[in-house]
Chain A
Amino acid sequence: MDYPLTKYIHHDGASRMLREYVKGGGYRSLQRLTAGMAPKDVQRLVGEAGLRGRGGGGFPTGAKWSFVPMGSNAPKPKYIVANGDEMEPGTFKDRILMEGDPHGLVEGMIMAGYALDAEVGYIFLRGEYHLSAQRLNQAIAEAYAAGYLGKPLPGTTFRFDLHLHSSAGRYICGEETALINALEGKRAVPRAKPPFPQTVGLWGQPTIVQNVETLYNIPHIINNGADWYRRLSRTQDGGTKMYGISGRVRNPGWWELPLGTTARELLEQHAGGMAEGVRFRGLLPGGISTAFMIEEHLDLPLDFSSFPPEVGRLGTGTMIILDDQTCPVGFVLNLEKFFARESCGWCTPCREGLPWVAKLLSALEEGRATSDDLSLLEMHTKWLAPGHTFCGLAPGAMAPLQSALKYFREDFERHITTGGCPWSKKSAQQRVLA
């Protein structure tokens, strides 16, 4: 089995800088350009490889690129942006790549830029990733000194410039149109679509925003071909995936594995099973904007095309485990407080609805809720459903709530009948005193 993204990453936290990267075959994809590979060949290869975006949506990368105007009449400049905002709770995969192998992102961006004839790139990095910033800055400086950046690539007239933008901490900046506003130095609220960034993006120019992990795949596709890339996966989506697990398991961590690996394999073989004394109840497969999966879903292949719609979607592939010693209502309350705090406030259903949801869940936890409150929660999952809000933040916030109401209904009801949280010792004491 080949693990192209991480096979050279050091597990002691050290970084691979230029010399080591090149020795391991780094920047080899540029040689293909000398051999005559044209931008449209790169585009075709990425499409044939079945690469799907790793930012959570799983959109086919080749199809996304096909909307970018090409040719001598296309607007100039075009931009390519790496989305390294990674503020989705439970998600830490892009950090592992950027800290361990910063040149992989530089090479991925050069090749994506070449494919789209986009001559300027930005890495949009969340502000808290100081170590990633330091290593990426070093990698960019090394790549300029070595002539991979800022000079025409050998055998072509294409020259690529790359900048690092460190943000200042706000979840909505990960949404691609909010990210574009943020980069322009505007308040980072999302933009209306259409027009889509592929035609009208950063400073009004054609722009592709791509997740960091997606970009890491591109040089490997160019070096090894589409068939090789498809064979890495167990399903129809090409490649490997950075999976991760957090929560009460024996060995929380990350693993690059074939797309289509099941949650059961991840949990039992890689994470070593549940921690001592706790039992599995459910999991969020990829960040907190995904729906819960329970025991009966553990053998589903984790990829972008195999999920039945009623189960949900993979999201970022870094899962969070709910165990039996943790209250599902308290768990969902924590998620909704995050969403309420990080809502950008632009549209009413999200700005007003999310705090209301958090209040209702707090009432349940504190023993003040009635069964009417459960219906109100249900109604919010419809009021904040896709199409009712300006961007995907609020619908994402409803995915764990709606599925929790389905799978853990009895636990919600118990909070009403017992007048508080059955998991919280404190409120049990308060109940005795009262």
Chain B
Amino acid sequence: MLSDTEHRELEEAIKHYPDKRGAAIDALLTIQRHRGWISDDSLLDIAQFLEITAEDLDSIATFYNLVFRKPVGRHVAFVCDSISCWIKGCDQVQEQIKDLYDVDLGQTTADGRLTVLPIACLGHCERAPAMMIDHDVYGEVTPDKIDVLMDKYK
């Protein structure tokens, strides 16, 4: 069931399109903001609202890097692994995260604090290596800076 707030936000989202399903991505991201990820139940709620089938909506949900069809931690760290960051040592950034928090790409820490995912070029190439934690992008992330950076995300 959609909460009142969720319902109101989806009503707002569909105003931008001549056809309800145009708001599919907005709806998925809105519900994900409230619930953390898109469970099968959430998928059904949204599909019902958009008047499309859940399977149809799932073919969209599973297409995108930023729609989570599995639970994630309280925070998500996205490590850019595209070329400019690779040249500047994104592999070392990833290894440092693994050493500090005992978590590999695609995994969540045991305490549920952090999920680490690879991400395509974040468009901050002039300040490589870059990473994004939740909605915040950081450039020139050398391995020694990571623990201080992560302090903000408990």
Interface residues, chain A, with chain B CB atoms under 8 Å away: 86-92, 95, 126-131, 163, 165-171, 182-188, 203, 244-248, 252-254, 288, 318, 320, 323, 326, 331, 334-335, 338, 341-342, 344
Contacts and interface: CB of A to CB of B under 8 A. Distances in A.
B135 A246 contact: no
Contact of B126 (A128, A248, A254, A331): A254
Interface in B100-129: 119-128
B141 interface: no
Contacts of A246: 84, 87, 125-126, 128
Nearest to A271: B126
B63 A127 contact: no
Given A128-B132, A169-B64, A341-B120, A320 B83 contact: yes
Nearest to A247: B87
A170 B16 contact: no
Contacts of B84: 89-90, 246-247, 320
B25 A128 contact: no
Contact of B125 (A129, A186, A320): A320
27 contacts: A89-B125, A90-B83, A90-B84, A91-B121, A91-B123, A127-B64, A128-B137, A129-B123, A130-B136, A163-B16, A168-B66, A169-B120, A170-B63, A185-B21, A185-B22, A185-B23, A185-B24, A203-B19, A246-B87, A246-B126, A288-B82, A318-B125, A320-B84, A323-B87, A331-B87, A334-B81, A344-B63
B44 interface: no
A88 B82 CA distance: 10
A320 B121 CA distance: 12
A102 to B, nearest CB: 16
Q: Which of A165, A187, A248 has the most CB of B within 10 A?
A: A187
A203 B18 CA distance: 9
A87 B123 CA distance: 7
B86 A92 contact: no
Interface string B72-91: 00000010011110111000
Contact of A338 (B18, B28, B82, B137): B82
A169 B64 CA distance: 6
A245 B126 contact: yes
Given A87-B121, A128-B119, A246-B125, A184 B132 contact: no
Contacts of A169: 64-66, 119-120
B87 A187 contact: no
Nearest to B123: A92
B29 A166 contact: yes
Given A246-B128, A320-B84, A168 B120 contact: no
Which of B21, B23, B86, B126 has the largest number of chain A CB atoms within 10 A?
B126
Nearest to B22: A185
B2 interface: no
A89 B119 contact: no
Interface majority SS (helix, strand, loop, mixed), chain B: mixed
Given A129-B123, A186-B60, A168 B28 contact: yes
Nearest to A287: B121
Contact of A86 (B22, B123, B128): B123
Interface centre among B86, B124, B135 (most CB of A within 10 A): B86
A199 to B, nearest CB: 18
Contacts of B127: 252
Contact of A127 (B66, B83, B86, B136): B66
Contacts of B128: 246, 252
A344 B63 CA distance: 8
A126 B123 contact: yes
Contact of A334 (B28, B67, B83, B137): B83
> Which of B24, B87, B127, B128 is packed against the most chain A CB atoms within 10 Å?
B87
A92 B64 contact: no
B3 interface: no
Nearest to B65: A169
A92 B18 CA distance: 31
A27 B98 CA distance: 50
A302 to B, nearest CB: 17
Contacts of B16: 163, 165
A75 B150 CA distance: 53
Given A187-B60, A244-B126, A334-B82, 17 more contacts: A90-B82, A90-B84, A127-B64, A128-B123, A131-B137, A163-B17, A165-B26, A166-B25, A168-B65, A169-B66, A187-B63, A246-B84, A248-B88, A252-B128, A318-B125, A331-B87, A334-B81
A245 B83 CA distance: 12
A347 to B, nearest CB: 16
B42 to A, nearest CB: 15
